[in-house]
């Protein structure tokens, strides 16, 4: 561990009990010589820090004043704030405003900073890396921006960090608006925020334009946010951006479309590890509404869609090689202990719903849809009738329960319900058909 400099504002050296006498002058001279050689002075308020790191003890207002001075410091800057809560207007100098070095850590010491004027409380621009720990940022109803905006820089929310209680009337992102750059949620929470697109987090260049921003969730929670599209997260990204969930939880968010997440565009969107999407609700798709989406682990469970798609709805392609989808609900349902919840009459699955006849759902590996159904295609003449494609051996049996209009699929000519690799470990027999005694023939169509 790097040695910390002594604090000369105190009458005794830490751990020695000796008075600050002549030896203090010696150490002070040594320190001033070091600063002279480094060329980066430490202004009033500096309280030490590891070598190459400046550390300050001050209020939020003093910190903002420090931003505005744009003084240079060597190494990362750590601001440790006083406990007393404060109000603040927008702080814009983070928009590329620091020239040396652009790496800031705000250690809030449990305090709350409340935004009092319209705008983003913090804006993180190109070349700036901002870490928030043990601090609550609080917005207000009727704001005209996200509480935190990332516009080319990098922001990290760690343990004890909270972004909450903000409404963005300008539609894009209640808690966070990620126009470009990266946002890491590693602890803490983004909660009780509201916007038309992305109640918790919006990712995109603008309302109708894709961007290359990237959002990472490895810990903490996105919860109790509300939106028209994407209660927890709305993402409209191009191939350079995306949403990556490896841990943490998205829960109890609400939307018209995509209670947990609404994902569109050509970006990479992926769930893996121990990530959980649960207890979200929406008119259409309680859990994840996606154009393109990959699931390698984690779980999507206990979400509610009033119409189609309790767990996942897909309009493009959904690849699932691991993880589980279970116990999701389409509100107008019947319940069967053997199969779980299934939509009545419309043949949309409670676990996975295919939104159109071009949508594709591919399963392999340890993927399982249990106590749920997969469906959405009618199987009418001239349409792609395949409900599930198989891409390699499956381990779960059954791997999924399929819901469909059996009269359509049983009529001649027989229509394929499961496609792809059906040979490996009897993949074709790993699917049940809801409400029927049928299983899938080795050629992929239904058999009694």
| Percent residues over pLDDT 90 in the chain | 47
* The pLDDT of residue 69: 62
Q: What is the pTM of this model?
A: 0.84
* The pLDDT of residue 108: 94
Q: What is the pLDDT of residues 310-337, one digit of tens each?
A: 999 999 999 999 999 999 988 765 545 5
Going by C-alpha positions, the residue among 191, 187, 140, 141 that lies closest to residue 163 is 191
The better pLDDT of the pair 429, 338 is held by 429
The chain-wide mean pLDDT, for the chain, equals: 80
Checking if the pLDDT of 147 tops 50, the result is yes
* The pLDDT of residue 421: 81
Going by C-alpha positions, the residue among 223, 209, 277 that lies closest to residue 247 is 277
What distance in Å separates the CA atoms of residue 328 and residue 301, rounded to the nearest whole number?
A: 6
Q: What is the pLDDT of residues 344-359, one digit of tens each?
A: 444 567 899 888 878 8
* 3-state SS, residue 240: coil
pLDDT, mean of residues 142-171: 95
* The pLDDT of residue 51: 45
Rounded to 10 degrees, the C-alpha dihedral 14/15/17/18 comes to -70
Q: What is the pLDDT of residues 434-448, one digit of tens each?
A: 766 567 777 787 776
Checking if the pLDDT of 49 tops 60, the result is no
Going by C-alpha positions, the residue among 398, 318, 322 that lies closest to residue 364 is 322
Checking if the pLDDT of 301 tops 50, the result is yes
Checking if the pLDDT of 418 tops 50, the result is yes
Domain ranges of the chain: 307-448
Least confident of 11-25, 93-107, 399-413: 11-25
* The pLDDT of residue 306: 83
In this structure, the chain runs to a length of 448
* The pLDDT of residue 61: 87
The better pLDDT of the pair 444, 9 is held by 444
Strands 129-138 and 103-115: parallel
User: Which pLDDT band holds residue 251 (cuts at 50, 70, 90)?
Assistant: very high
Least confident of 106-115, 166-175, 350-359, 391-400: 350-359
Going by C-alpha positions, the residue among 282, 332, 336, 275 that lies closest to residue 304 is 282
Q: What is the pLDDT of residues 216-245, one digit of tens each?
A: 999 999 999 999 999 999 999 988 899 999
Checking if the pLDDT of 13 tops 50, the result is no
What distance in Å separates the CA atoms of residue 348 and residue 355, rounded to the nearest whole number?
A: 8
* The pLDDT of residue 126: 84
What distance in Å separates the CA atoms of residue 129 and residue 235, rounded to the nearest whole number?
A: 22
* The pLDDT of residue 6: 32
Q: Is 312 exposed, middle or buried (0-12, 13-18, 19+ CB in 10 A)?
A: buried
Supply the DSSP string of 373-391, one letter for each residue. -EE-----TTS---SEEEE
What's the token pair of residue 120?
Answer: 């983003």
Going by C-alpha positions, the residue among 357, 375, 384 that lies closest to residue 431 is 375
pLDDT, mean of residues 425-431: 78
Give ∠ CA 173-175-178 in degrees, rounded to 5: 55
Contact (CB, 8 A) for 352 and 395: no
Checking if the pLDDT of 31 tops 50, the result is no
Going by C-alpha positions, the residue among 124, 116, 80 that lies closest to residue 98 is 124
The better pLDDT of the pair 308, 338 is held by 308
Q: What is the pLDDT of residues 257-275, one digit of tens each?
A: 999 999 998 889 999 999 9
Contact (CB, 8 A) for 109 and 79: no
pLDDT, mean of residues 55-83: 75
What's the token pair of residue 439?
Answer: 């299983």
- In the numeric block, the tokens 């009337």 are attached to 169
What distance in Å separates the CA atoms of residue 153 and residue 157, rounded to the nearest whole number?
A: 14
pLDDT, mean of residues 126-153: 93
């Amino acid at each position: 561990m790097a040695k910390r400099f002594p604090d000369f504002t105190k009458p005794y050296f830490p751990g020695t009990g000796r008075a600050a006498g002549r030896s203090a002058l010696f150490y002070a001279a040594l320190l001033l010589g070091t600063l002279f050689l480094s060329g980066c002075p430490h202004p009033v308020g500096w309280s030490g820090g590891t070598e190459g790191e400046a550390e300050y003890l001050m209020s939020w207002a003093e910190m903002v004043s420090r931003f505005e001075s744009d003084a240079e410091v060597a190494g990362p800057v750590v601001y440790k704030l006083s406990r007393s809560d404060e109000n603040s207007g927008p702080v814009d100098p983070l928009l590329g405003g620091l020239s040396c070095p652009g790496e800031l850590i705000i250690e809030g010491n449990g305090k709350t900073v409340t935004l009092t004027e319209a705008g983003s409380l913090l804006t993180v621009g190109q070349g700036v890396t901002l870490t928030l720990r043990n601090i609550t940022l609080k917005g207000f109803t009727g704001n005209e921006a996200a509480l935190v905006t990332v516009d080319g820089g990098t922001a990290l929310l760690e343990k004890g960090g909270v972004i909450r209680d903000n409404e963005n009337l300008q539609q894009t992102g209640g808690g966070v608006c990620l126009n470009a750059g990266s946002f890491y949620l590693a602890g803490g929470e983004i909660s009780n925020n509201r916007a038309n697109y992305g109640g918790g987090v919006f990712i995109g260049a603008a309302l109708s334009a894709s961007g290359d921003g990237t959002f990472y969730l490895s810990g903490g929670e996105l919860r109790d946010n509300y939106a028209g599209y994407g209660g927890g997260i709305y993402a409209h990204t191009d191939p350079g951006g995306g949403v990556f969930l490896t841990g943490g939880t998205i829960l109890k968010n609400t939307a018209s479309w995509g209670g947990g997440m609404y994902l569109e565009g050509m970006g990479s969107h992926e769930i893996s590890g121990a990530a959980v999407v649960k207890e979200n609700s929406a008119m259409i798709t309680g859990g994840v509404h996606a154009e393109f989406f990959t699931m390698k682990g984690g779980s999507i469970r206990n979400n509610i869609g009033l119409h189609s798609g309790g767990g996942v709805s897909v309009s493009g392609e959904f690849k699932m090689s691991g993880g589980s989808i279970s116990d999701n609900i389409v509100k107008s349902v019947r319940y069967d202990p053997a199969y779980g919840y299934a939509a009545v009459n419309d043949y949309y699955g409670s676990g996975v719903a295919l939104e159109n006849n071009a949508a594709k759902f591919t399963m392999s590996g340890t993927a399982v849809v249990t106590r749920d159904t997969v469906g959405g295609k009618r199987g009418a003449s001239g349409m792609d009738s395949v409900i599930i494609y198989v891409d390699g051996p499956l381990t779960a049996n059954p791997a999924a329960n399929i819901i469909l209009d059996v009269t359509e699929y049983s009529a001649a000519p027989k229509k394929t319900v499961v496609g792809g690799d059906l040979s490996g470990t009897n993949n074709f027999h790993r699917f049940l058909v809801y409400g029927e005694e049928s299983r899938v023939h080795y050629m992929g169509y239904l058999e009694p």
